[in-house]
């Protein structure tokens, strides 16, 4: 699957619109909802915020919740992307020793750092249900999305935690 530029540009403009109307966790939740609805090969989309040495799930959209709401930076594909400050694409999660299993349906994953001044402050995590679901066009598009949502990730850090449940 891929994100052609003719779909990327209107999607980025829509994300700009979301971010002009919402802030913090609410903005992140709406961006997750939009990405999951707009791109069929993005069945589960989450945004984590880096808090010390732990990634904290701030927003997500998909068929089911993940048990991985807090991920130590030392573990998983999410941790690897944060540690190495780079986008990580895994074509087949069963072949990756770093992978932390979330859903039985997950076959591939892309994790894109969200940066503030070059430092990782969070990340976008997308699970795919097909092998090799993500390519360079996904990387380019999601890196552009990550740059746009950095202020919302920073704002989420100062918001009270969401109610349990």
Q: Is 77 contained in some domain? A: yes
pLDDT for 93 equals 81
**% of the chain residues with pLDDT over 70:** 92
Check if the beta carbon of residue 76 is closer than 8 Å to that of residue 54: no
Q: Is 164 contained in some domain? A: no
Question: Strand 108-116 and strand 54-61: pairing?
Answer: unpaired
- What is the rounded average pLDDT of the residues 47-64? 94
For residue 36, the domain's CATH number is 3.30.450.40
Over residues 84-143, the pLDDT tens digits come to 999 999 999 888 767 666 766 778 999 999 999 999 999 999 999 999 999 999 999 999
Q: Is 152 contained in some domain? A: yes
Check if the beta carbon of residue 53 is closer than 8 Å to that of residue 75: no
Q: Is 81 contained in some domain? A: yes
Q: Is 148 contained in some domain? A: yes
| pTM of this structure | 0.93
Which one, of 133, 109, 106, 105, lies nearest residue 123 by Cα? 109
Which tops the pLDDT comparison, 2 or 10? 10
- Asked whether the predicted pLDDT for residue 164 surpasses 70, the reply is no
Q: Is 139 contained in some domain? A: yes
- What is the rounded average pLDDT of the residues 53-79? 91
What gap in Å lies between CA 89 and CA 33, rounded to an integer?
Answer: 21
Q: Is 163 contained in some domain? A: no
- What is the rounded average pLDDT of the residues 47-54? 96
What is the distance between the terminal CA atoms of the chain, rounded to a whole angstrom?
34
Count of domains in the chain? 1
Domain that holds residue 78: 5-158
What gap in Å lies between CA 153 and CA 21, rounded to an integer?
Answer: 15
Check if the beta carbon of residue 54 is closer than 8 Å to that of residue 72: yes
pLDDT band at 1 (very low <50, low <70, confident <90, very high): low
Q: Is 137 contained in some domain? A: yes
């Amino acid at each position: 699957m891929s994100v052609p530029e003719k779909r990327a540009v209107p999607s980025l403009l829509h994300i700009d619109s979301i971010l002009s109307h919402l802030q913090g966790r609410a903005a992140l939740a709406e961006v997750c909802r939009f990405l999951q609805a707009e791109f069929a090969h993005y069945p589960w989309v989450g945004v984590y915020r880096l808090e010390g040495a732990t990634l904290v799930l701030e927003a997500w959209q998909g068929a089911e919740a993940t048990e991985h709401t807090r991920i130590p930076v030392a573990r998983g594909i999410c941790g690897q992307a944060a540690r190495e400050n780079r986008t990580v694409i895994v074509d087949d999660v069963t072949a990756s020793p770093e992978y932390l299993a979330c859903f039985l349906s997950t076959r591939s994953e892309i994790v894109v750092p969200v940066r503030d001044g070059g430092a990782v402050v969070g990340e976008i995590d997308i699970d795919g249900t097909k092998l090799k679901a993500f390519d360079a066009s996904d990387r380019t598009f999601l890196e552009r999305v990550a740059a746009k949502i950095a202020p919302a990730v920073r704002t989420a850090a100062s918001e009270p935690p969401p109610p349990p449940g």
